[in-house]
Structure 1
């Protein structure tokens, strides 16, 4: 009987699940509820991935490419895959086959340990449809694991036809999005890295970099035998410990895995120290990514300017929350910088050693960076104890002083709105990539290149126009500085942190220029978000696919400021900023950042805000409003309609009424239904109705 009860309890998890995609239309039967859809469509290319595992190593995907993108069909796609995977790609077979009752081409290939099978055919509009199955060798080799995969192609039905273009608004429900976020969340690791003690020898003239890292690892489970860390660019030379071990490097396109196998397993809570020696004869990592196309280099050791942002130049685990003790050894008289507190500077034998320590443990989305150059600097220590220091090259004294002034203004706004930083020093540093630009915030360290380090004399940002290229050098200071709070102190996910940074830009301009500049910033964000909608699929801010297409920046950077401005108007300044500070003080990384933000504001507001956060952060798109009015003898009747698809939004609107006598009257209303009618007395006949606040309403307003 217990076995029967167990089988009944487990049955729903393994029950097959029909799936229907509306636009373009296709159907298939998923092996179980564990298989979650992830829509990564962009720029007219359909990409829907189904996977039961967080790393998506086992997956089924449906893709459709417009014909012109694949002029030679499967051969063009094979060339693209081969270029992306490099030497890891190996074709197994390309042969005729069938899929969904159509003649197709069956293509099987390997990338590393994984095998992928794709079937491809052309639809009625000459687009190429691909049905993909991928899994590691262990899955394909196990008959029980392989069987659900093999049933998927037989269940696939394609009827996309003339409606093959992806929808402009993703219709995923908040429940679905939360499931996808949970699927993408990092798994609990069987170990934790508690401390790095790093020594790096940097030789700019020789382009070389040597590393020694003593890594303290503690077991979170009993019988810990294997530790996996990740690096990029550097080559591991040796790994040793106070016990016998074996180690290997698992090459991968994104980051190499350093896998250490212990001869003597660790008990729960037991620690081991790994001594890793690594190096790089030519420390340089470029990037061809398109998400932020202006970035071309993420790390270099070169004469004049050596620095690193995204390079994993020391081995890290995915949580990346260890204490660090970093010593940078460079030729004198160069200055070496990173995050943390400078505790020691020793000069001897024409070299200088800088030692920095950061004892706080918190998850970091990026590794500690570094910068090395012939720097001069200036600093200011605030009443809060926060030490702000700016570094530039000889001849840049004026620009350094300008940024000290701007950082001080930013800190006035951010400490008021977000609370104090939990660490005492932030360094703002000018670096010089060998190509393109950079602007990035790292733990305790901000790096910007020439384009973002101009002379700020005469820069006027009072319009709040974020698109004005003349104000970028000013705004990048505020934007990257705010990430010290939202990205590293609070640890909000990037898709939320970037929008908060745009909003704190508005707060900075409010301090610098007044309310008109703040309003102008919100207006710029609204134009960018709503004005460009419709060309490609828009995803909710919280949807993992928000990164997948050209709507990434308008949605992630520009929608959140509109949402926060609407919340500020609803709550008032006192409760709004109290809620902001409370949210930033909630630093439990096990709680999703969107939920922490909601909890902070709810605590300050004393009311439930779940529906507000759900409709703005977990729903794609925006309200579309139409208004009409009818004059009465004693006033006016105004009807507001929401014409967008789906459920109506809850929306605070200011109805501005203009009368024949020249008077204007603003009536605040709370929309909750698809259509609502309001009546007000007026001193004269109404002649016009406008919806606002002007330029700041998170909605598209259409004519009557």
Structure 2
């Protein structure tokens, strides 16, 4: 996901959702939704096929703001209760039991399903689920750890074009000017990237990447814009570098998302003004990278969000490096480093932030995005390109369709590199500080020697390689920094004009000028 105002990479309560996620594993959602042009009220009939993970007498399903009229199991009504944030089913289940429940409900969504008008005044419907807003209109387990397949059946006025995750199975005209559209997604998804939209779209088949059709859905007034077609050139890079694209189509959709982009699986939503964004190519790359990281491989919990946003951030930089050269990568890394330094001065939290238990929007910050991307860059430099990509590919292969934690990723990279990476991960991902470096220089005319002192001003101390060069003309040198003060003696026939630290932009540090 990309935040709207901090462009590119600048993307229910936790206790309740975790308990629900532990009770059951939802295997499939059958979502039957009816929308209309007269009111913002929706009617829903959602079937949850699930398996119990523990003995359960009262099943909690996340749901807020909707009025449930009945719940059916095997065609029979079952007892239920409802409060402001959840639906509770009266059940008698043992661990391992499978069941299917159909929830019939109606209401006007306050969030999660955005019913509004686009910038041209046309009525639109767009889901906007991240992080845990789906339950504002949809009975579900609103947590990234629970992944399921989904079928959308949308009954809407016939002037709407409907798009959702998966493949369009059918489109049928019904009486009274209604059209029923069915989409089916066979890849298990977290609820945060399940999506459906209905608007007056112009649809363009931008091309195919192998067997993957790529589409652009834009408002009819923007039919002449072809900016999303760039996706056909971005998608092959990630397929080659990471692994197969998991979804049966890639639709790039102009929308009313609150984000700059939202990485819904195979059906990416972009801000309605995105076609005019200066960095549209970067935005496309960011959201397409999410199809592997965030969608196919999903973080186990919000605290591991960097496995989604940090990955999409750095994968975007790698695509731009591949397309435009190393100088583009360095410029972006410098820009991102300044954002990380600025954030660190305002808020002292690590990338894996265990202090956030609600209002997960606050995790959409420079730690999750830019610092997470920087960690991947330093990891790449530490273990080498070949081992880095081998680890990334194996990580994707092993956790495709599943959930992963930061430790899961670390173990994959340790296997690929043959290195112990616990210290690296601890200091860069679980420590709030970043290195703050002060450099002192002096030149001894008698011995023709430069004395360089590098002082770590932050606490705790970090351990990292520091690259430096004299006069920007001398060969690059490297020294390991791990003490509070590190002294380096450098031979120099004449007093140098200066010493440049980290000239190739490989270190996340606040270096005093």
Q: TM-score, normalised by structure 1?
A: 0.62
Q: Paired residue for 2:89?
A: 260
Change (3 A) 1:551 1:681: farther
Deviations 1:347-368 (A, max 9, x none): 3433322211122335x15152
Return the offset for 1:426. Answer: 2.5
* Residue from 280, 286, 289 that aligns with 1:479: 286
- CA–CA separation in structure 2 for the residues paired with 1:268 and 1:594: 28
Alignment of 1:674-693 (within 5 A): 674-682=484-492, 685-693=495-503
- CA–CA separation in structure 2 for the residues paired with 1:214 and 1:527: 48
- CA–CA separation in structure 2 for the residues paired with 1:438 and 1:394: 20
Return the offset for 1:498. Answer: 1.7
Q: State the secondary structure of the residue aligned to 2:31.
A: strand
Residue 443, structure 1, aligned to residue 256, structure 2: no
- CA–CA separation in structure 2 for the residues paired with 1:200 and 1:532: 42
- CA–CA separation in structure 2 for the residues paired with 1:665 and 1:233: 65
- CA–CA separation in structure 1 for the residues paired with 2:403 and 2:194: 24
- CA–CA separation in structure 1 for the residues paired with 2:363 and 2:209: 41
Which stretches in structure 2 are left out of the alignment for 5+ residues?
1-12
Q: State the secondary structure of the residue aligned to 2:71.
A: strand
Deviations 1:651-688 (A, max 9, x none): 12111112xxx843321222233333334555655332
For CA contacts below 8 A with separation 6 or more, give which structure has more relative contact order.
Answer: 2
Q: Paired residue for 1:207?
A: 40
Question: Is the 1:226–1:261 Cα contact (8 Å) retained in structure 2?
Answer: yes
Which stretches in structure 1 are left out of the alignment for 5+ residues?
1-53, 58-183, 286-296, 457-469
Question: Is the 1:581–1:600 Cα contact (8 Å) retained in structure 2?
Answer: no
Alignment of 1:313-328 (within 5 A): 313-317=137-141, 318=143, 319-328=145-154
Q: Paired residue for 1:526?
A: 337
Residue 615, structure 1, aligned to residue 458, structure 2: no
Q: Paired residue for 2:371?
A: 559
Alignment of 1:25-424 (within 5 A): 189-222=22-55, 224-242=56-74, 243=76, 245-251=78-84, 256-262=85-91, 265-280=92-107, 282-285=108-111, 299-300=114-115, 304-310=123-129, 311-312=134-135, 313-317=137-141, 318=143, 319-349=145-175, 350-362=177-189, 364=190, 366=192, 368-380=194-206, 382-399=208-225, 401-405=226-230, 407-424=231-248
Deviations 1:586-632 (A, max 9, x none): 32899752112212222221211111111100001111223335457
Change (3 A) 1:415 1:644: farther
Question: Is the 2:306–2:372 Cα contact (8 Å) retained in structure 1?
Answer: no
Question: Is the 1:653–1:693 Cα contact (8 Å) retained in structure 2?
Answer: no
Q: State the secondary structure of the residue aligned to 1:273.
A: strand
- CA–CA separation in structure 1 for the residues paired with 2:138 and 2:113: 15
Q: State the secondary structure of the residue aligned to 1:485.
A: coil
Number of residue-to-residue matches in the alignment: 481
Return the offset for 1:342. Answer: 1.7
RMSD over equivalenced CA pairs, Å:
3.1
Return the offset for 1:217. Answer: 3.0
Higher deviation after alignment, 315-324 or 584-593: 584-593
- CA–CA separation in structure 2 for the residues paired with 1:226 and 1:448: 39
Return the offset for 1:638. Answer: 4.3
Q: Paired residue for 1:600?
A: 412
Instruction: Determine which structure has more spread, i.e. the larger CA radius of gyration.
Output: 1
* Residue from 526, 535, 538 that aligns with 2:348: 538
- CA–CA separation in structure 2 for the residues paired with 1:211 and 1:591: 29
Question: Is the 1:637–1:677 Cα contact (8 Å) retained in structure 2?
Answer: no
Return the offset for 1:385. Answer: 3.1
Q: State the secondary structure of the residue aligned to 2:298.
A: coil
Q: State the secondary structure of the residue aligned to 1:577.
A: helix
Change (3 A) 1:483 1:393: same
Question: Is the 2:297–2:403 Cα contact (8 Å) retained in structure 1?
Answer: no
